[in-house]
Chain A
Amino acid sequence: MSKGLIVTDLRVSVEGKEILKGVSLVVEPGKVHAIMGPNGSGKSTLAHVISGRPGYTVTGGSVMFDGVDVLELEPEDRAALGIFLAFQYPVEIPGVTNTTFLKTALNAQRKARGEKELDPMGFLKVLREKAKALHLPDDMLKRPLNVGFSGGEKKRNEMLQMAVLTPKLAILDETDSGLDIDALRIVAEGVNAQRSPERSFLVITHYQRLLDYIVPDVVHVLAYGRIAETGGPDLARQLEKTGYADYTGSAA
């Protein structure tokens, strides 16, 4: 059984329009892959399809994770399998506190995996430690999920969820968008602290800046729904100079 994420010739359309036109990539456990590309190239579509967001039609190819065909699974089952999506636009949910939400989510995943649910005190202790590491004040844990959070707070809250849920694959969908340099550094530190031989990352970003802080093992350029180029960290730095003009046929 192959460990990690294996995307093979993935074709996806939205409302009849083909967005991904045969994407293939392999992310091995412990590796950080970055996906860069111009706007509209299909980066977010890839993230959403892997995590199971409705509204996308898979017309061909497959997505396997740890030997399981994830396209057959409900989003919650993919989460229990260890796939985590850090949202580009985290959703506000009034009336559900951050703590209640995380406890419900963690226990749902543990239950789905046949593990014991955490006792409330033990959970709170873990939550407070991880929040502190991300410079999130305790008071934000009691507030309704993402409601009234600033852009930076929402992204840090995504990192907190990742830290608590300890996924095997974390997909960061333009987590750097809307962040100032300090928030970016905190988020990157949060990710780097989570790097481990068992955990892989798919970091989706338009800009190279994030990759100064989260140094990837592999960089892919996605353009026109296809992986146009794959390389090492140097590829990201090269793109910073040249832009995406080589892939779009015009100056970006």
Chain B
Amino acid sequence: MTHLPMTPLLQDYAKISASLPGVHDSRVATLRAMAAESYRTQGLPHARVEAWRYTRLKDLETLPFSCAAALSDVSEPVEGAGLAGAVLRIVLVNGQYVESLSSQVDIPGLAVGCLREALDAGDDAVIQALDGGGADFAGAPLAALATAYMDDGVVVRVAEGVSVAPLVEVVALATVDVMPHLAFPRFLLLLGAGAEMTLVETFTGPAKGVYAVNAVTDLCMGEGARLNHYVLQAQGAEATHVSLGRCAVPAKAHYEGFVLQLGAKTARHEMRLKMQGVGGEAKLHGAYAVRGEATCDTTTVVDHIAEETITDQVFKGILDDKSHGIYQGRVHVHRNAQRINGNQLHKALLLSRSARVDCKPELEIYADDVKCSHGATVGELDDDQVFYLQARGIDVVTARALLLRAFLGEALDMISVDAVRTAFGAHATGWLDNARGVTS
């Protein structure tokens, strides 16, 4: 067995693994063992791991995080992203599903359950869908760690052909305890063929205090299903946030994703899309804003496996102070994926000379009849635009805020669900209202 220098976080494992759910199910036990071994082998990401080249999880390397489930006595209602209209809210506190804080579910064809129970019951559909349907831990050591410690989470099932009217929001709330802990919120969606729903994942926690979240989301879509999947990362300023989302898009299915990252000291959100059915379409857009000395990493991995699949990505970021933004976009077109369309664009705006952005588009194309594009720009606020607004009477601070909001707005406008676009827009504006609005 390889012993890399950086394999902390498994210190609790031997002690608690016997009490984790699904312990008597050989499939779960095997998956756990593979996950623990994968984490032992990979360790915490370091600079020599290409997929993690720019992002170090320094707090996880140096602070004594506990991986044991941290129970919390949160009793007040949980706000979430502030979505207007009908919202079915599911609340996880430190990764544990809390039914008392969650909405009552009374929609035919929709079932919300606790992951622990599903594991203990040996639920076939759930177990088969975990980790991308088969221990998909390559380049994802933190997801492996999450599966090693897999305890609780939420499973949402939507029956075939059902269109879920209210927005479904999964709020993963973290709390700060005496000891810094690492929470593992896990969410699994089983969306039946032809079913439709809008899912919002909201990651949030206290503004102050050290904590860490390592989330895993698996989205399983049936043929012809339509899923809107929106992620808001609004963690506290001292938090470490790592999340991995995986979605396989089957034939004729539509996926629309958006990730807005505005918080945390170190954040990494990775979305993996497998376009595995003919005629599948996916939009994966996002925006981020980062300041102070924070790091914000958005990584996407898109596999075009089937022919005639379409993906489109637009990401925009604002970086202030000494912050560091990362966008990595990998598009892999497999040999038989002819007549596909894959576009990708990343635009970043630097508000400070000390801010830094790394953008890494990666296109790997093995088919010969494809349309792929990628583009990246890094710039500053345009002085001519600022002056134009000033010349019309708008003060310089407002002018800058207006231009920054407009910059992010070009991405945010791609959210097709009004309530989500409005709520995410308000979060972005809130971030900008706290900006100094001055370029050094």
Q: Report which A residues bind B (CB closer than 8 A).
A: 51-54, 74-76, 78-80, 84-85, 87, 90-91, 93-96, 101-102, 104-106, 108-109, 112, 144, 161, 165
Contact = CB atoms under 8 A, between A and B. Distances in A.
Interface stretch (B49-57, B184-192, B404-412): B404-412
B376 interface: no
B383 A94 contact: no
B393 A165 contact: yes
A85 B392 CA distance: 8
A53 B410 contact: no
Contact of A90 (B388, B396, B402): B388
A95 B406 contact: yes
A61 to B, nearest CB: 21
A85 B383 CA distance: 16
B391 A51 contact: yes
A84 B393 CA distance: 9
Contact of A75 (B387, B407, B413): B387
B387 A53 contact: yes
B396 A74 contact: yes
Given A93-B403, A95-B409, A96-B402, A54 B387 contact: yes
Scoring B398, B403, B406 by chain A CB atoms within 10 A of each residue's CB, the highest score goes to: B406
Scoring B383, B388, B402 by chain A CB atoms within 10 A of each residue's CB, the highest score goes to: B388
B379 to A, nearest CB: 13
Given A54-B387, A93-B388, A76 B410 contact: no
B76 interface: no
9 contacts: A74-B396, A76-B391, A76-B392, A76-B395, A85-B391, A87-B388, A101-B402, A105-B392, A108-B394
Nearest to B387: A53
B393 A95 contact: no
Contact of A104 (B384, B398, B407): B398
B403 A96 contact: yes
Nearest to B392: A105
Counting chain B residues whose Cβ lies within 8 A of the other chain, the interface size class is 20 to 34
Interface of B: 382-385, 387-396, 398-399, 402-403, 405-407, 409-410, 413
Given A101-B392, A105-B392, A93 B387 contact: no
B390 A76 contact: yes
Contacts of B390: 52, 74-76, 79
A76 B394 contact: yes
A91 B382 CA distance: 10
Contacts of A85: 391
Question: Which DSSP category, helix, strand, loop or mixed, fits chain B's interface?
Answer: helix
Contacts of B389: 93, 101, 105
Contacts of A87: 388, 391
A242 to B, nearest CB: 35
Contacts of B399: 76
Scoring A75, A101, A165 by chain B CB atoms within 10 A of each residue's CB, the highest score goes to: A75
B338 to A, nearest CB: 34
B385 A104 contact: no
A74 B395 contact: yes
Contacts of A96: 402-403, 406
B401 to A, nearest CB: 10
Given A76-B395, A105-B393, A165-B393, A95 B388 contact: no
Contacts of A94: 406, 410
A104 B388 contact: no
A76 B406 contact: no
A85 B384 CA distance: 13
A9 to B, nearest CB: 25
Contacts of B407: 95
Scoring A78, A80, A90, A95 by chain B CB atoms within 10 A of each residue's CB, the highest score goes to: A95
Given A74-B396, A95-B409, A96-B402, A52 B391 contact: yes
B312 to A, nearest CB: 18
A241 B29 CA distance: 95
Given A94-B410, A101-B402, 7 more contacts: A53-B387, A74-B396, A76-B390, A76-B395, A76-B396, A102-B392, A105-B389
Contacts of A112: 393
Given A91-B384, A95-B409, A75 B391 contact: yes
Scoring A85, A104, A106, A144 by chain B CB atoms within 10 A of each residue's CB, the highest score goes to: A104
B394 A105 contact: yes
A151 to B, nearest CB: 16
A82 to B, nearest CB: 10
Contacts of B393: 76, 79-80, 105-106, 108-109, 112, 165
Contacts of A161: 392
B405 A165 contact: no
A93 B399 CA distance: 11
Contacts of A80: 393
B386 to A, nearest CB: 9
A91 B388 contact: yes
B394 A91 contact: no
A148 B393 CA distance: 24
A75 B402 CA distance: 17
A26 B406 CA distance: 40
A104 B385 CA distance: 15
Contacts of B410: 94-95
A251 B188 CA distance: 79
Contacts of B385: 91, 93
Nearest to B405: A95
A87 B390 CA distance: 13
